[in-house]
């Protein structure tokens, strides 16, 4: 059953990407095409854990005012080993001012190769909150959700502080140690200095909690990183 589910999901995903690409190409005939890519790469240390931590995050889109191809990539290495690697490819359609509806695929290469159908909305809420809401249907039928909130505060025109909150949700028990509900919370703050809009070194502090973990599950971790932010 699981193999059938994977095959169906992949066929649906390929058809979805081809059809949305064709739709986007047709719809963008009268639009100017723009692009935006944000790259953040850093290295640091997790408190109480051996080895260093390296991370790479890419977030961006290409398209016009109404139709866009969104892409997101996140990876993390600890002690020289890649622990997480996730790629999302999404078709985004303008639905209201500052908001896009999104549909596409998510692929997790690490910790284990899994495929997801992704649905969501992303945009800018009042008071300049950047909000990303996603629903994921995994290839085995399990349903997950992700909510992320971020805001920027200008201390000066070049020194910027960005707090963030991310929550991971599951509609069923994740494994033997993690129950359904909000099973992971990531609280962070990043401080950067922009030499210009395209290049900015940063330092960040984050805390990861596991509110639904049973005895023997993951424990909370605190992590410090320094890195570079590039905007294209």
The predicted structure's pLDDT at residue 25: 56
- Are 53 and 77 contacting, i.e. CB atoms less than 8 angstroms apart? yes
C-alpha to C-alpha distance for 137 and 106, rounded to whole angstroms: 9
The predicted structure's pLDDT at residue 18: 54
C-alpha to C-alpha distance for 5 and 112, rounded to whole angstroms: 17
Average pLDDT over residues 91-115: 92
C-alpha to C-alpha distance for 70 and 103, rounded to whole angstroms: 10
The predicted structure's pLDDT at residue 72: 96
Q: Determine how many CB atoms are found less than 10 A away from the CB of residue 97.
A: 7
Whether 160 shows a pLDDT value over 70: the answer reads yes
Average pLDDT over residues 21-50: 77
The predicted structure's pLDDT at residue 2: 47
Average pLDDT over residues 37-51: 91
pLDDT top residue among 156 and 214: 156
Q: Chain-wide mean pLDDT for the chain?
A: 87
CA angle 229, 78, 134 (to 5 degrees): 60
């Amino acid at each position: 059953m699981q193999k059938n589910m994977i095959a169906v999901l992949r066929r649906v995903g390929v058809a979805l990407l081809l059809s949305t690409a064709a739709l986007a190409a047709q719809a963008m005939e009268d639009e100017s095409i723009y692009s935006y890519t944000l790259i953040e790469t850093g290295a640091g240390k997790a408190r109480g854990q051996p080895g260093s931590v390296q991370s790479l995050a890419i977030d961006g889109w290409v398209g016009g005012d109404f139709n866009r191809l969104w892409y997101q990539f996140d990876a993390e290495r600890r002690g020289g080993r890649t622990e997480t690697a996730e790629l999302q490819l999404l078709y985004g359609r303008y639905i209201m001012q500052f908001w896009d509806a999104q549909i596409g695929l998510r692929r997790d290469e690490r910790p284990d190769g899994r495929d997801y159908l992704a649905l969501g909305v992303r945009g800018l809420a009042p008071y300049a909150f950047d909000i990303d809401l996603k629903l994921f249907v995994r290839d085995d039928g399990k349903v997950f959700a992700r909510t992320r909130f971020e805001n920027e505060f200008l201390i000066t025109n070049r020194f910027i502080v960005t707090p963030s909150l991310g929550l991971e949700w599951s509609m069923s028990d994740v494994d033997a140690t993690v129950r359904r509900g909000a099973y992971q919370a990531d609280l962070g703050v990043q401080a950067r200095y922009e030499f210009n809009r395209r290049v900015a070194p940063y330092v960040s502090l984050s805390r990861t909690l596991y509110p639904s973990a049973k005895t023997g599950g993951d424990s909370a971790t605190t992590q410090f990183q320094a890195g570079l932010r590039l905007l294209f």
